[in-house]
Structure 1
Amino acid sequence: MKEEIRCIKCNRKLCEADYKFISIKCPRCYELNVSTKRVPRGLNYGDRRKK
């Protein structure tokens, strides 16, 4: 599920992403926005193996 990421300083929409950790610098105010999201157990974004 994609989540909308907005700048914490100017509230500009930066992206929509499905992420575990993301770091984005806002092009308008140059604020560095860092966010982490807890991944529910059983979901592993990095696991690409077929079962």
Structure 2
Amino acid sequence: MMHVHDEVVLEVPNGQSFVEEICEIMASAPYWADGLPLRADGYGFYKKD
């Protein structure tokens, strides 16, 4: 795993996980931040916006 400021780069074997699943997990607010609007975008490859 690699972390770049507000980005996460994961090395996952093919077929192990889906980008949508990872984005859903990352957009889940922790219990202490209920109501905090979070959003995540993902790609099947590293992409710098």
TM over 0.5: no
User: Higher strand proportion, which one?
Assistant: 1
Larger Rg, first or second structure (1 or 2): 1
